[in-house]
């Protein structure tokens, strides 16, 4: 009985996932083609302007751009199901190849950034809750408020200005020095500044969440009971309160994965870091449809998958709760 | 009654002298001051200044701050002092306009889904959740691409269209509580239309609780505008705003002209920070003790 239910639920989740991705792909397809701009420019560069009408029509026919939108979508879907997503108009390579070359960079930046955010936010939140309304807590909260008001791109610029232009200690762009692609040290030094921005951009939001949630827990009745039993403050804090906060923190962080990964978008373009962020920016700018489609679907699938994961997590932790409710209660605490 | 005194009652101790709470306690005076100065400066500048902020003096490119150019000039020879004030106006306009739009949408959507029955309300909530989970910037970029070349109004509309979701959620929860109250029921019994009830009974009650989010929305809109313009997807270079001023910063980095990056950014951050402080103060006055960014 139980296995049957699990299988049924997995099937349902998979179906939701597939349908959402399909709808998303249709939306992106139609929207990107409605947008003004000439995809031939991406393919032919400057020459596209000088094409004769007949050549132009031939070129469009070759790229399948002369069909009605829905027919184009059907053709695209047919290819996509076979794993063929077409070629990138700009790079003249298979879309998946282009993405494969860039993906590790974004995963490194976003992945390390996410892990750092995850642990630092937890630590900071607990630290603030421990020193509620004392100097440390107030100072950290003030710093957090100020940092949250600094746009990510400006923070990146300031860091470049300080560390790369004035002090000349860290590189300002790229992922490694020219010709040193295999040098680990060079890669790490190139990662420091972007990583700082990614982490600082998200850290405080989650740290505040943890802090507020911890404070709420510390006012619960069971804490009073534990105190009257004579348990130490530290023990109550870490053994009882933190344990109650952790599960919902996990599902919140699951939902935040796309936000942290997507947040690398701006940072990457300031630091000219060769990740997916700069790639999607380019593809939107130059109407590189095939590339844009796959990138949008990738990020959309990530969002959907993370939401489903969070839902599964919080259902597992507390069967009464759906993920969205978990988020609602967190946001009711923090957003007002 | 004054004839007899209670035996054994202690003479009333004089009340401790009440400490007079200064009027500024708990109020973000500095934030109001900074924001007021910036807003006033932008308004006065556009009212009284005769110099054109977009004027390019090619003989005075890339000058460091000095007496003739208080904040220096940019790589195109424009005076940054003039650009700050005239550009700030646009940034503020975009912030306010897009927030007006998004609040309007949020109020309608939220109260509609709050007043609707179980099924429709649930459906609208799902729609809201889907919109919330899409990374905002992606949506803005796509919408902006459809509208073509960005202008102040198109940017306001795009940002407004993409930032109403979280307010709508709060409106819905508030409305669901309010709609059960007697005065709303009475108004309905007397045949009050949806719009009438919304205007007279619902809105005055939930407006205070969304005020904080509305102010935060102004902040978010200004952030989005500056980021988009910086990336070259927002306002073009010749339309001066704080964001489009910063889009020159790649060049500024190469020449090491820090003033082109630092000065507009400081103004932007100061404005955003003041808005946050004011929003937080409003939140606190409503009785939320917890801190939030």
Q: What is the pLDDT of residue A124?
A: 93
| A262: nearest CA partner in chain B | B135
Is the confidence at residue B1, as pLDDT, over 60? no
Residue A87 in 3-state DSSP? strand
For residue B99, pLDDT over 90 is answered with yes
Domain B29-45+73-287: assigned CATH number: 1.10.3720.10
Cβ of A149 under 8 Å from any chain B Cβ?
A: yes
Q: Which two tokens stand for residue A308?
A: 């489903």
Q: How far is B53 from chain A (nearest CA, A)?
A: 22
Alpha-carbon distances, residue B67 vs A96, B41, B79, B82 (angstroms)? 56, 19, 12, 14
pLDDT band at A335; cut points 50, 70, 90: very low
Indicate the range of A88-102, B187-201, B279-293 predicted with least confidence: B279-293
Q: What is the pLDDT of residue B69?
A: 76
The answer, yes or no, to whether residue B102 has pLDDT greater than 90, is yes
Report whether pLDDT(B24) > 80. Answer: no
Cβ-defined contact of A336 to B213 (cutoff 8 Å):
yes
The closest CB to that of A151, out of B133, B213, B227, belongs to B227
DSSP state of A164: I
Q: What is the 3-state secondary structure of chain B?
A: CCCCCCCCCCCCCCCCCCCCCCCCCCCCHHHHHHHHHHHHHHHHHHHHCCCCCCCCCHHHCCCCCCCCCCCCECCCCCEHHHHHHHHHHHHHHHHHHHHHHHHHHHHHHHHHHHHCCHHHHHHHHHHHHHHHHCCHHHHHHHHHHHHCCCCHHHHHHHHHHCCCHHHHHHHHHHHHHHCCCHHHHHHHHCCCCHHHHHHHHHHHHHHHHHHHHHHHHHHHHHHHHHHHHHHCCCCCCCCCCHHHHHCCHHHHHHHCCCHHHHHHHHHHHHHHHHHHHHHHHHHHHCCCCCCCC
Q: Region A202-224: what's the mean pLDDT? A: 88
Whole-number CA gyration radius for chain A? 24
- State the pLDDT at residue A35: 66
> Which distant-in-sequence residues (6+ apart) come within 8 Å of A291 by Cβ?
A88, A89, A90, A91, A95, A98, A99, A279, A283
Please determine, for residue B11, whether its predicted confidence score (pLDDT) is greater than 90: no
pLDDT exceeds 50 at position A332: no
DSSP string of A43-69, one letter each residue = HHGGGGGG--HHHHHHHHHHHT-SS-H
Model confidence pLDDT, tens digit, residues A126-168? 999 888 888 898 899 889 989 988 988 899 999 988 888 888 8
The rounded distance, in Å, linking the Cα atoms of A254 and A78 is 32
CB distance B286–A336 less than 8 Å?
A: yes
Percent pLDDT > 70 in chain B is 89
Region B255-270 average pLDDT: 88
Res A288 pLDDT > 50: yes
Which of A162-176, A198-212, B13-27 is the least confident region?
B13-27
Beta bridge mates, B79:
B73
Residues B29 and B55 sit within 8 Å (Cβ to Cβ): no
Q: Is A94 helix (H, G, I), strand (E, B) or coil?
A: strand
User: What would the pLDDT profile of B170-184 be if each residue is shown by its tens digit?
Assistant: 888 888 888 888 888
Confidence of residue B105 (pLDDT cuts 50, 70, 90): very high
Residues of chain A neighbouring B281 (CB-CB closer than 8 A): none
Q: Which tokens go with A331? A: 């946001």
For A149, which of B213, B253, B273 is closest by C-beta distance? B273
Checking phi first, is residue B6 left (phi over 0); if not, alpha (psi -120 to 50) or beta? beta
How many residues are listed for chain B in this entry? 293
Under 8 Å CB pairs connecting chains A and B tally to 124
First to last CA, chain B: 58
Q: Residue A45 — very low, low, confident or very high, per pLDDT cuts 50/70/90? A: low
Residue A36 φ/ψ, nearest 5 degrees:
-70, 160
Q: Where are the domains of chain B?
A: 29-45+73-287
DSSP symbol at A231: -
DSSP A171: -
CA A51/CA A59 separation, integer angstroms? 9
Does this complex have an ipTM over 0.85? no
Q: What percentage of chain A reaches a pLDDT higher than 90? A: 9
| Residues in chain A closer than 8 A to B291 (CB atoms) | 141, 208, 211-212
Do B246 and A157 count as a contact with CB atoms less than 8 A apart?
yes
How far apart (Å, rounded) are the C-alpha atoms in residues A116 and A203?
A: 9
Q: Chain B, 111-170: which have a CB under 8 Å from a chain A CB?
A: 129, 133-135, 137-138, 141-142, 145-146, 148, 166, 169-170
Which of A102-111, A244-253, B140-149 is predicted with the least confidence, judged by mean pLDDT? B140-149
User: How far apart, in whole angstroms, are the C-alpha atoms of residue B81 and residue B58?
Assistant: 16
C-alpha dihedral, A47 to A48 to A54 to A55, nearest 10°? 60
B212: contact with A, CB 8 A cutoff: yes
Q: What angle do the packed helices A289-317 and A2-34 form, to 10 degrees?
A: 150
Which chain A residues are Cβ-neighbours of B262 within 8 angstroms? 158, 161
Contact criterion met (CB below 8 Å) for A114 and A195: no
Q: From CA A325, how far away is CA A97, in angstroms rounded?
A: 40
Residue B253's closest chain A neighbor by CA? A161
The CATH number of A103-335 is 1.10.3720.10
Distance CA(B256)–CA(B249), nearest Å, equals: 10
CB A326 within 8 A of CB A315: no
Does the pLDDT value for residue B59 go beyond 70? yes
From A154, A258, A281, residue closest to B268, measured CB to CB: A154
| Residues from chain A contacting residue B129 (CB–CB below 8 Å) | 324
Compute the nearest-CA separation of A227 from chain B (Å): 23
CB neighbour class for A15 (10 Å; exposed up to 12, middle 13-18, buried from 19):
exposed
What sign for the dihedral angle of Cα B2, B4, B9, B11?
positive
pLDDT band per the 50, 70, 90 thresholds, residue A334: very low
Confidence of residue B255 (pLDDT cuts 50, 70, 90): confident
Residue A17 has pLDDT above 90, yes or no: no
Between A111 and A180, name the one with better pLDDT: A111
- Which of B91, B122, B138 to probe by mutation at the A interface, max A CB count within 10 Å? B138
- Kindly report the average pLDDT of chain A as a whole number: 81
Could you give the C-alpha distances from A256 to A21, A116, A319, B130, B135, in angstroms and in order?
19, 13, 21, 14, 10
Are A165 and B277 inside 8 Å of each other by CB?
Answer: no
Q: Could A151 and B145 be called an inter-chain contact, meaning their C-beta atoms sit closer than 8 Å? A: no
**Residue in A148, A165, A269 nearest the CB of B293:** A148
| pLDDT at residue number A179 | 67
- Residue A92 clears pLDDT 60, i.e. is over it: yes
Map out the domains of chain A as residue ranges.
16-81, 103-335
Dihedral (Cα; A166, A168, A170, A172), 10-degree rounding: 60
Question: What are B77-90's pLDDT values in tens digits?
Answer: 788 888 888 888 88
Distance of CA A61 to the CA centre of its chain: 36
Kindly state whether A18 is in contact with chain B, defined as any CB-CB distance less than 8 angstroms. no
Judging contacts by C-beta atoms under 8 Å, the chain A residues touching residue B249 are 157
Average pLDDT over residues B43-68: 76
Contacts with B265 from chain A: Cβ below 8 Å: 151, 154, 157-158
Sign (positive/negative) of CA torsion A71, A74, A79, A84?
positive
Which positions in chain A touch B287 (Cβ < 8 Å)? none
| Helices and strands in chain A: count of H runs, count of E runs | 14, 0
Asked if the Cβ–Cβ distance from A335 to B293 is below 8 Å, we say no
Range 40-99 of B in CB contact (< 8 A) with A: none
CB contact under 8 A, B268 and A151: yes
Residue A202 sits at the chain B interface (C-beta within 8 Å): no
pLDDT score recorded for residue A24: 79
pLDDT tier at A336, thresholds 50, 70, 90? very low
Task: Report the share of chain A in percent with pLDDT over 70.
Answer: 87
* 3-state secondary structure at position A134: coil
Tokens of B86: 């005239």
Tell whether B254 is within 8 A of chain A (Cβ): no
What burial letters (b/e) apply to A107-127, b meaning 16+ CB within 10 Å? ebbbeebbebbbebbbebbbb
pLDDT for A298 beyond 90: no
Q: How far apart are CA B88 and CA B245, in angstroms?
A: 10
Which of A36-50, A136-150, B17-31 has the highest mean predicted lDDT (pLDDT)?
A136-150
| pLDDT at residue A333 is higher than 70 | no
Q: With pLDDT > 90 as the criterion, what percentage of chain B qualifies?
A: 16
Mean pLDDT of A173-188: 75
The partner residues of A94 in beta bridges, in order of sequence, read A87
Residue in B closest to A205 by C-alpha: B293
| pLDDT at B273 exceeding the cut of 90 | yes
Q: Are A276 and A99 in contact (CB under 8 A)?
A: yes
Chain A window 167-196: which residues touch B at a Cβ cutoff of 8 Å?
Answer: 172
């Amino acid at each position: 009985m139980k296995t049957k239910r699990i299988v049924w639920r997995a099937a349902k989740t998979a179906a939701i996932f597939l349908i959402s991705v399909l709808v998303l792909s249709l939306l992106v397809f139609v929207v990107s083609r409605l947008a003004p701009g000439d995809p031939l420019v991406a393919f032919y560069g400057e020459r596209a302007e000088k094409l004769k009408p007949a050549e132009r029509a031939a070129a469009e026919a070759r790229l399948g751009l002369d069909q009605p939108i829905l027919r184009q979508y059907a053709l695209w879907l047919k290819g996509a199901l076979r794993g063929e997503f077409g070629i990138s108009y700009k790079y003249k390579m298979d879309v998946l190849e282009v993405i494969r070359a860039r993906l590790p960079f974004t995963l490194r930046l976003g992945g390390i950034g996410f892990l750092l955010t995850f642990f630092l936010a937890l630590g900071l939140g607990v630290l603030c809750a421990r020193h509620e309304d004392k100097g440390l807590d107030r100072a950290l909260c003030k710093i957090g408020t100020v940092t949250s008001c600094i746009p990510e791109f400006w923070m990146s610029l300031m860091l470049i200005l300080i560390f790369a232009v004035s002090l000349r200690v860290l590189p300002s762009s790229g992922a490694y020095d020219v010709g040193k692609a295999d040098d680990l040290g060079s890669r790490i030094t190139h990662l420091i500044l972007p990583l700082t921005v990614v982490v600082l951009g998200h850290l405080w939001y989650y740290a505040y969440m943890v802090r507020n949630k911890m404070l709420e827990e510390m006012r619960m009745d069971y804490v009073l009971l534990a105190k009257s039993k004579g348990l130490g403050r530290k023990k109550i804090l870490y053994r009882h309160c933190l344990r109650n906060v952790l599960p919902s923190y996990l599902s919140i962080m699951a939902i935040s994965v796309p936000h942290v990964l997507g947040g690398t978008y701006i940072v990457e373009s300031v630091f000219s870091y060769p990740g997916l962020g700069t790639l999607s920016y380019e593809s939107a700018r130059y109407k590189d449809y095939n590339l844009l489609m796959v990138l949008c679907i990738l990020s959309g699938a990530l969002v959907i998958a993370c939401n489903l994961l969070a839902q599964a997590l919080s259902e597992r932790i507390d069967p009464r709760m759906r993920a969205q409710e978990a988020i609602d209660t967190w946001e009711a605490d923090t957003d007002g | 009654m004054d004839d007899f005194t209670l035996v054994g009652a202690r003479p009333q101790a004089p009340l401790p002298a009440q400490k007079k709470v200064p009027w500024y306690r708990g109020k973000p005076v500095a934030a109001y001051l900074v924001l007021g100065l910036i807003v006033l400066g932008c308004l006065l500048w556009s009212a009284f200044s005769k110099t054109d902020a977009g004027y390019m003096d090619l003989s005075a490119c890339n000058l460091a701050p000095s007496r003739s150019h208080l904040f220096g000039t940019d790589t195109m020879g424009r005076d940054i002092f003039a650009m700050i004030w005239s550009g700030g106006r646009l940034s503020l306009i975009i912030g306010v306009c897009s927030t007006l739009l998004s609040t309007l949408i949020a109020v309608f959507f939220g109260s509609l889904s709050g007043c609707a029955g179980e099924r429709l309300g649930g459906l609208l909530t799902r729609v809201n959740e889907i919109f919330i989970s899409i990374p905002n910037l992606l949506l803005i970029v796509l919408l902006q691409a459809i509208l073509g070349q960005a202008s102040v109004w198109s940017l306001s509309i795009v940002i407004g269209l993409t930032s109403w979701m979280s307010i709508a959620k709060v409106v819905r929860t508030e409305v669901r509580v309010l709609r059960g109250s007697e005065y709303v029921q009475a108004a309905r019994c007397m045949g009050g239309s949806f719009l009438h009830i919304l205007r007279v009974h619902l809105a005055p009650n939930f407006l205070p609780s969304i005020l904080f989010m509305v102010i935060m929305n102004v902040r978010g809109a200004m952030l989005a505008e500056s980021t988009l313009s910086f990336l070259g997807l927002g306002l073009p270079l010749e339309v001066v705003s704080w964001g489009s001023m910063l889009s020159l910063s790649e060049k500024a980095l190469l020449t090491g002209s820090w003033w082109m990056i630092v000065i507009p950014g400081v103004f932007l951050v100061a404005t955003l920070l003041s808005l946050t402080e004011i929003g937080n103060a409003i939140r606190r006055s409503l009785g939320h003790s917890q801190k939030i960014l």
